[in-house]
A and B are shown apart, each in its own frame.
Chain A
Amino acid sequence: MTAYIAKRLLALIPVLFGLTLIVFLIMALIPGDPARAILGAYATPENLERLNRQLGLDRSMPEQYLIWLGNLLQGDLGRSYSLNRPVIDEVMERFSATLILAGTALVICSVLGLLAGIISAVRQFGWTDRIVTFFVLIGISTPSFFLGLLLILLFAVQLRWFPASGMYAIYGGGDLPDLIRHLVLPSLTLAAVATGVIARLTRTAMLEVLRQDYIRTARAKGLTERKVIYRHAFKAALVSVIPVIGIQAGFVLGGAVYIETVFQWPGIGAMLVNAISTRDILLVQGGVLVVAASYVLFNLAADVVQSILDPRLRR
């Protein structure tokens, strides 16, 4: 098992290099003068000159990449001109807020999605199945940014149960209960689509597994139906659902862009949207890189969990 994880970690290195290459290439494709694009329209000629030298824009592309990569490895992602602070500081601060939101949403969608999927499969064609299928359809068809607005209207404006925006109350608060109160609506909104997708796939996976020969064996052994479903069938279904949860981590991290904007959550998604509007390219670069790297790690975690469940994958 340890050997397997070590192998996977090693295999991670080229993927992470690939990420940096793509991020670098995208930014290198900016039309016009990159220094001006990075520093904005009101940059002084001295600053432009300095940045051009710093980025080595007079050199060849591979050289530029290596310089950029070298800086990156030292934790230097450049300086955000619109915020006038190092990109790495801003990104890390914002990323922790996103991680709280996305992590909560990921837990919610995994638990709810798996439960709904199992129940729906076990009660196939019954009322519960129909209700779950209906909500799944609604869930995956509703734009998350629209769902967020609806939840704000209902729970923040009408019922006044939860706050509509921010991560903490402006005056006072800042403790855990306050955080949780602010977390409820955005995390539910962010989890909605992923819950639907996971529920759907769990249902299919369960139905697929319940037809397998080893389920007949479990029944032939005289196991109770509860053990057959929740131990034998669920474990096998989980193996095929885990990678999907890993993929959903990407949609949750990406979806945070909308949700953070709607709920004014001080995360990296909202930061990216602002950075794009102000054309703060280095900030966009840093933000995209960190989120993409975290997605790779989420997927690695999913792979490891999957191999813990399925010994056949540990090779």
Chain B
Amino acid sequence: MSAVTEPAAAPPKRADRPDSIRLLLNNKMAAGGFIILVLMVLVALIAPLLPLADPNATAPANRLLRPMSEGHLLGTDALGRDILSRIIWGLRVSLAVGISATLISAFFGSLIGLTAGYVGGRTDTIMMRGIDMVMAFPYILLALAIVAVLGPGLINALYAIAIVNIPFFARNIRGVTLGLSRREFVDSARMSGKSHTRILFTEILPNVMPVIVITMSTTVGWMILETAGLSFLGLGAQPPQADLGSMLGDGRRVLFNAPHVAIVPGIVIFLLVMSINLFGDGVRDVLDPRLKSGALTRPVARTAVERPPGEPMPAADDNAVLDVKGLKTEFHLGRTVHKAVGGVDLKLGQTECLGIVGESGSGKSVTAMSIMGLVPTPPGRITGGAIRLKGEDLLAASDARIRQLRGGAVSHVFQDPLATLHPLFTVGHQIMEAVRTHQPVGHAEARKKARDLLELVRIPNPEQRLDSYPHELSGGMRQRVSIAMALANDAELLIADEPTTALDVTVQAQILVLMNKLRHEKQASILFITHDFGVVSALCDRIAVMYAGRIVETGPTEQILADPAHPYTRKLIDCVPVLGEPERRLDAIQGLPPSVADLPSGCAFAPRCPRAQEPCLAGDVALEPIAEGRAARCLFPLAGERGNA
């Protein structure tokens, strides 16, 4: 049995090199950039070996030849010099200058950043003030000032560009170092008596390295561009020495009669910088996956519905406000499919309050959000079942109809009111918006209604509070505002997704009392999602317990609380702390809920269940009625044997 009770350990994560490079090459754009870059660097490296004309040999007779001329593939410039040869030699210079500048900047910038971040205190303040001062300059301008002092010339341009980029490195690296130097492994290194220098270079530097590499990969393109720019202005490379920028500058003088002299070096700079940018973006995506573009997909307005064609529609239930049958909602992440909701039936009558209870990840919130199509797509989609609101099939309704119902007949209260209220609009604005979306009222009337709503949810000084921003209110007040917003249009169904979880206990109780009162005053039905049995008992008529995307037990609140049938329900109830019963077991349920991407074949709870037996693992367990109005998904339900499970 031990093999079953132990949750399967995740395979050890390895972030080794070959993987990163493969990841990088999987990104087509980055791979393309990389190939162009490698080709250019190769050509620049082997330039002395190539059968090229002397880049500095002038031939006045052959001046300004067009590209594809005999002996001069890319033509000649104003002095009759071969452009192809000059481009390749110029590329060599530009690459060398750009990369040197990057290395210099990275070295000094990292040194400053590491020191400031590690030492902290006044050293940090003074160094960063200095960096801020330098960054207060537009940086090309600073480079110009430095060139003005040092005098025009390629090496001076290199120094100038390197110096003005130091602050970028210093800032980025200081931030990371600051975070790292407060971590445990650094403390323990200090305890073990390592010197500060050693800690910096053996403990911190290896961890900061990715940031240095990212900053280098994102700045090297700029540095090449800016040194080319200085040369273009005549402040960098001086004749006869030439880099791509000075060649472009030369070409500008003959732009009107021989544009190719300028266009060829321009295109080469463009290709070089573009390939570096593409490659740099790829490196950043691999080393800093949070920024990966693919991770940021935009959820659309309504959850996609993909019911298999020809699936018979479950029969409707006439007298229910909300009737959910066989609901399936999945998340497609890469190639894995997470069956967050795997066939859920719910029924909610007039003014009834149904509690959905379960651990996080049980699918309770996804079930609730599926009703009005608020599950984000991508990655979520509804793949089966039916949702009816007073007999109307919501999954088949038009977008316009859904919009009309959202905030109208069906309203929502979400968990964390600081995150769910818009931080940049006053609460009055947000409530009025809810009112005016569904009612044809003017500004003044909407404001009056908003005021009344705040009064209804017992917010003191409602008139002044209308002009407050969410961050100016306490957590309890914010949640009252959310509730007021949900009541703006006399909803028939209120879907509350852990509305009290973020609040402290006394405020929790007030909110629950408020919701209960409003339910009876406004004749609304409530679907209440929570992980907390204590909260359920205060408000709900009936309970549905969810585990791994399915309902495992359902029935009237008192009966389930007094006499749970499913071992999981029992465990959940045992988790609720009770005052004056210190010996009560507060140990959480052993193990973790199964991943809904890979559900076991039998009962999903079996691996954690003390009563599990062979048949539990054999096949699907059905939700069977066990008494009037009660059902449980268990082969060996508990029957009044409280206390010795």
What is A's interface to B at a CB cutoff of 8 Å? Answer: 15, 18-19, 21-23, 26-27, 29-30, 121-122, 124, 137-138, 140-143, 145-146, 149-150, 152-153, 157, 204, 206-208, 210-214, 216-225, 228, 232, 235-236, 239, 249-251, 253-255, 257-258, 261-262, 272-273, 275-277, 279, 281, 284-285, 288, 291-292, 295-296, 299, 309-312
B234 and A21: CB pair below 8 A?
A: no
B138 and A254 form a contact (CB under 8 A): yes
CA of A248 to CA of B407, assembled, Å: 41
Which B116-137 residues sit within 8 Å CB-CB of chain A? 129, 132-134, 136-137
How many contacts A-B (CB < 8 Å)?
216
What is the distance, in angstroms, from B498's C-beta to the closest C-beta of chain A? 12
| Contact residues of B between 90 and 109, Cβ < 8 Å to A | none
User: 12 A–B contact pairs at CB < 8 A?
Assistant: A23-B145, A142-B273, A149-B251, A210-B298, A217-B485, A220-B374, A225-B301, A250-B137, A257-B144, A275-B148, A288-B145, A291-B138
- Does the CB pair B421–A217 fall under 8 Å? yes
Q: Does B76 contact A (CB under 8 A)?
A: no
Partner among A21, A26, A124 whose Cβ is within 8 Å of the Cβ of B149: A26
Which residues of chain B are near A222, meaning CB under 8 Å?
A: 403-408, 434, 437-438
The 8 closest A-B pairs by CB, nearest first: A254-B140, A222-B407, A141-B274, A146-B266, A250-B138, A254-B138, A18-B133, A222-B406
Nearest neighbor of A272 in chain B, beta-carbon distance: B144
Contact A228:B145 (CB < 8 A) given known A21-B133, A276-B152, A291-B138? no
Contact of A219 with B423 at beta-carbon distance under 8 Å, contacts A18-B136, A275-B148 already known = no
Interface residues of B in 375-428 (CB under 8 A from A): 376, 403-408, 411-412, 414, 416, 419-425
Do the beta carbons of A295 and B137 come within 8 Å of each other? yes
Name the CB-closest residue of B to A311. Answer: B469
Chain A residue with Cβ nearest B259: A153
**Contact call B149/A30, Cβ cutoff below 8 A:** yes
In the bound complex, CA of A310 to CA of B485 (Å): 22
CA distance A124 to B299 in the complex (A): 10
A residues near B235, Cβ cutoff 8 Å: 273, 276-277
B422–A22 contact, CB under 8 A? no
On chain B, the residues within 8 Å of A27 by CB distance are 145, 149
Contact, CB under 8 Å: B299 / A223:
no
- Please tell me if the beta carbons of A255 and B277 are within 8 angstroms of each other in the complex: no
Per-residue 0/1 for B281-317: is the Cβ within 8 Å of any A Cβ (1 yes, 0 no)?
Answer: 0000000000000001111010000000000000000
Of the candidates A204, A276, A299, the one whose C-beta lies within 8 Å of that of B148 is A276
Q: Looking at chain B's contact residues, is the secondary structure mostly helix, strand, loop, or mixed? A: helix
Closest to B150 in A: A31
- Within 8 Å CB of A309, what residues of B? 424
A253-B141 in contact given A216-B374, A221-B485 (Cβ < 8 Å)? yes
Report how far A253 CA is from B406 CA in the complex, Å.
48
Q: Which residues of A contact B134 (CB under 8 A)?
A: 22
Q: Are A137 and B298 neighbours in the complex by a CB distance under 8 Å?
A: no
B424 touching A310, Cβ below 8 Å: yes
Q: Give the complex CA separation of A310 and B426 in angstroms.
A: 11
Contacts A15-B133, A312-B423; A219 near B141 (Cβ below 8 A): no
Cα-based distance from A310 to B416 in the complex (angstroms): 20
Return chain A residues, CB-CB under 8 Å to B485: 217, 221
Interface status of B214 (Cβ within 8 A of chain A): no
Check A143–B471 contact: CB distance below 8 A: no
Q: A121-B298, A219-B301 are in contact. Are A137 and B277 (CB under 8 A)?
A: yes
Docked pose: A25 CA to B300 CA in angstroms:
55
Known: A23-B145, A218-B422, A258-B229. 18 other contacts (CB 8 A): A18-B132, A19-B137, A149-B266, A150-B266, A214-B419, A216-B414, A217-B412, A220-B372, A220-B406, A220-B407, A222-B434, A223-B407, A228-B301, A232-B422, A251-B138, A253-B138, A255-B140, A312-B471
Contact A143 B269 (CB under 8 A): yes
Bound CA span A141–B272, Å: 8
Contact of B232 among A26, A207, A258 (CB under 8 A): A258
